[in-house]
Amino acid sequence: MMKRIFALLIFQLVAISIFCAGFFPQKKVLKGDATFLVESDLQSKAKPVFNKLVLVVIDALRSDFVFEESKSHFFHLHSLLEQGNAWGFTAFSNPPTVTLPRLKGITTGSTPNFLDAILNVAEGDSSSNLNEQDSWIKQFVNYNKTIRFFGDDTWLKLFPLEFFDEYEGTNSFFVSDFEQVDHNVTRHVPEQLMNQEDWDVLILHYLGLDHIGHKGGSESQFMPAKHQEMDDIIRQIYEHSDDDTLICVMGDHGMNDNGNHGGSSSGETSAAMVLISKKLQNYEMPTQQKLAQLPIKDTNPSYQYLTSIQQVDLVPTLATLFNFPIPKNSVGVIIRETLQLLDDKLLTVKVQENFQQLQSVKRTHIDADEGFENLDAAFQKMRDVQSELMRSATDYNYDFLYLGLGILLVSTMVGMAAGLKQMRFEKPFFIILTISLIVGLSSFGSSFVEEEHQIWWWIATGGVLLSSLYTPDKKSTHLTILICLRIIRGWNNSGQKHFYENTIFEILKRNPIQQWYLNFFTIFSLGLLQGDLLSFLSTMLISMLCFVYKVTWAIVNRETVPDWMYQVALKSCFIITGSVTDDVFEESLVPLARFFFKCLLGSIVVNLGVAKLTSKKSTLNSICTSLTMLLIFQSPSSNIPLFLAYNTLRKSLTTLLVENYGSGSFITSITSLVLQYFTFFHFGGTNSIATVDLSNAYHGVSQNYNIYLVGFMMCLSNFVPPIYWSIFTWRILYNGNQKWNHFSHNKLTFFMFNCISGCALLLACLILRFHLFIWSVFSPKLCYYAAWNIFMNLVIGWILEIPLLLMN
């Protein structure tokens, strides 16, 4: 039985992998480098408008950070915008709004490939590089220009190193640091500005602002200082530049209010772009900017400040201003305001060039003289072609799609048959079937996918209602369960459409002292196990370490903590590092976290060993407690008290399941399944890449980190609630000698759910593959589904549980 279910699971994972391989294929790109298409003689002899480019990418620089009065502290840049030496734009950043795909867009002008968003996380991948693809970087290299690069090392993974005459990469994945990462870029700037004759293109990519966002949201108290730091760098570059230098300051994408990005909300897609040059004041500034007074006083909820353009428009604009052919795969349209920098003859040629080049991407031939009557018509046509090209981003591999779906359908049939055999036509079978169908059908509607937390709320409360009808004598238990569910629901924002100010999470964030007393109570009331001396001592140590670490982490992030907790953390950090400097908290984070992990592992091993020797029964309890501490350790601090609600809910459910449902393995598994999804969403998770939490993936990780370890910890911190509710079944199902039977029943339940809902999801992706939201809504959902199956079902469900069952 167990072997068969495992084989089915592997079968299912293979099906998902094949489907994903067909759904996220490599995009077909036009090979080779572009050459001038129109009047190439005239164009090759023309003098470029600028001869030096400084590109300053400030990661996650949202439009309002630069243009809006209450948010922006780019004071010097505001005065440049007012004088007309700088032209500001809101540049639409095509989702997935993650650095790697955006850099591809900014340099090649092409539309993104969703797979890049995943490759952005999976480092060291060579399939995402741009050695072969045409880009403005490559065009500069072809024209023998010298390029220097300092900043986010994603650039160095994208382009061959020989493209750069001098470079230094900073790591983009160490999100907890936002000072050093930028100093490492800035320290190169003075030297480069002194020796400007040595280079033609200088690229700087700053990550600090993005890291601040991930850590503290868009309104973090570190933002103003970071804006000013960046503003000062722009001022230095500007003051050292001459008339023939173009400075472009831009964000690769924006962020939402929580400081995350990846999705398609207006905050994430609205990046700032500013073109700066001393030359610009001789020309007419963009109309919108002429009418506005900078910084702009009125907040714009859709983040559209000044003129809105596409981020990829930078590509043909640079090609035009620096006089080289527009990169082959670009879908950009020249920023129209910049055309006035060209002389009249060249202006028409450059527009024709852009027009022809867009047509060649569209792969339709048009006669050379069938062009356009006037500039307005040309721009209208080009915008039309652009939006058409942006919509049809990829070619799917249909063989893979059908094969993947086919295999999944077959394994679903087999799984259903096995389920019927085990559950017969009894209640659990119909319950799991109903839940799977509801969730499966919901994947056809984009709003249902975005707001999936609502579905789980109705399933969970519906389940409580059913159970209370079935066991009417358990009124108070059901009431407790309902209250817990309601508290959990009110804790975090979930879904992608609404943002509530008054969730418990936000309220606790505004009242840090109360929050920390609650955290203290939570950690010690859940962490301390009574019983024998050994488990008491080991859980005491783990709880203390967990608490001290979380407080230290909060202090490093400049959160407020009660004074006595500050002193406790200070003393503990002193003991750990022996240091009395101001950086003692920061220095202790890594050793503290490592010490915590070692003690945790040690206590589990000791407990298992003692249990083996004395054949005592309570090991599961202490292992579950240790693991709960690990989950708390990997959670954001405002979510820690949520574990009190989890614990109360767990106790009530256990009583109910044991006393009224005879510890039934199927019904226990269904309860666990519903709660895994319900709590995942109400922990702050969504089906968008934007809510992937990176800030808890670096505990105990030093500068030379291991990507696999960080990846594992990232999964761990994002699946904290599902892991908790997966562990919940252990104490009910794995205590007696029926444990292997229960184990396979449990896996069968999850398998049925994943197959049925998965078939529907894959079918939805297939049918809706040309839907407007396919990249922003359905593809991320598919990624979550795949991640859930691999991490929760394979890693946690099998690889973690089997050894535990063997030893217990």
**Site residues, Zn ion (CB under 5 A):** 59, 99, 210, 252
- How far, in Å, CA of 645 to CA of 522, rounded? 10
CB-CB contact of 610 with 808 (8 Å): no
Q: Which is nearer to Zn ion, 121 or 401 (CB)?
A: 121
* Smallest gap from residue 758 Cβ to Zn ion (A): 30
- Name the β-bridge partners of 52: 245
Task: Give every CB contact of residue 535 below 8 A, 6+ residues apart in sequence.
Answer: 529, 607, 618, 621, 622, 625
Count of CB atoms situated within 10 Å of the CB of 69 = 15
Cβ-closest position to Zn ion: 99
Sign of the alpha-carbon dihedral angle for 229, 231, 235, 237? positive
Q: Which is nearer to Zn ion, 181 or 611 (CB)?
A: 181
Q: Which is nearer to Zn ion, 259 or 440 (CB)?
A: 259
* Smallest gap from residue 213 Cβ to Zn ion (A): 7
Provide the token pair at 679: 């709590």
- How far, in Å, CA of 447 to CA of 460, rounded? 20
Q: Which is nearer to Zn ion, 273 or 432 (CB)?
A: 273
Provide the token pair at 290: 């002429």
Q: Which is nearer to Zn ion, 158 or 765 (CB)?
A: 158
Q: Which is nearer to Zn ion, 93 or 515 (CB)?
A: 93
Q: Which value, in Å, is the radius of gyration of the alpha carbons in the chain?
A: 29
- Name the β-bridge partners of 62: 271
* Smallest gap from residue 55 Cβ to Zn ion (A): 14
- How far, in Å, CA of 434 to CA of 439, rounded? 9
* Smallest gap from residue 125 Cβ to Zn ion (A): 17
Query: Strand order in 86-92's β-sheet?
Result: 164-170, 147-152, 201-206, 52-58, 245-250, 270-276, 86-92, 307-310
Q: Which is nearer to Zn ion, 59 or 451 (CB)?
A: 59
* Smallest gap from residue 214 Cβ to Zn ion (A): 6
* Smallest gap from residue 251 Cβ to Zn ion (A): 8
Task: Give every CB contact of residue 250 below 8 A, 6+ residues apart in sequence.
Answer: 55, 56, 57, 58, 61, 91, 106, 271, 272, 273, 274, 311, 314
* Smallest gap from residue 95 Cβ to Zn ion (A): 13
Q: Which is nearer to Zn ion, 254 or 797 (CB)?
A: 254
Task: Give every CB contact of residue 483 below 8 A, 6+ residues apart in sequence.
Answer: none
- How far, in Å, CA of 518 to CA of 512, rounded? 10
Phi, psi of 358 (to 5 degrees): -65, -40
The torsion defined by the Cα of 736, 739, 741 and 746, in degrees rounded to 10, comes to 120
* Smallest gap from residue 171 Cβ to Zn ion (A): 13
Q: Which is nearer to Zn ion, 253 or 550 (CB)?
A: 253
CB-CB contact of 244 with 52 (8 Å): yes
Residue bearing tokens 């399941």: 657
* Smallest gap from residue 92 Cβ to Zn ion (A): 15
* Smallest gap from residue 211 Cβ to Zn ion (A): 7
CB-CB contact of 211 with 743 (8 Å): no
* Smallest gap from residue 210 Cβ to Zn ion (A): 4
Angle (nearest 5°) at CA 221 between 220 and 222: 90
Q: Which is nearer to Zn ion, 210 or 452 (CB)?
A: 210
* Smallest gap from residue 498 Cβ to Zn ion (A): 23
Q: Which is nearer to Zn ion, 200 or 210 (CB)?
A: 210
Q: Which is nearer to Zn ion, 252 or 337 (CB)?
A: 252
* Smallest gap from residue 711 Cβ to Zn ion (A): 16
Q: Which is nearer to Zn ion, 210 or 353 (CB)?
A: 210
Please report the DSSP string for 17-60 in residue order: HHHHHHHSPPPP---S-----S-HHHHHHSPPS-SEEEEEEETT
CB-CB contact of 602 with 661 (8 Å): no
* Smallest gap from residue 107 Cβ to Zn ion (A): 14
Count of CB atoms situated within 10 Å of the CB of 714 = 21
CB-CB contact of 220 with 695 (8 Å): no
Can the peptide bond before residue 96 be classed as cis, meaning omega within 30 degrees of 0? yes
Q: Which is nearer to Zn ion, 258 or 676 (CB)?
A: 258
Q: Which is nearer to Zn ion, 59 or 64 (CB)?
A: 59
* Smallest gap from residue 557 Cβ to Zn ion (A): 16
Q: Which is nearer to Zn ion, 155 or 596 (CB)?
A: 155
- How far, in Å, CA of 691 to CA of 570, rounded? 32
* Smallest gap from residue 121 Cβ to Zn ion (A): 11
- How far, in Å, CA of 699 to CA of 590, rounded? 7
Phi, psi of 363 (to 5 degrees): 60, 30
Sign of the alpha-carbon dihedral angle for 255, 259, 263, 265? negative
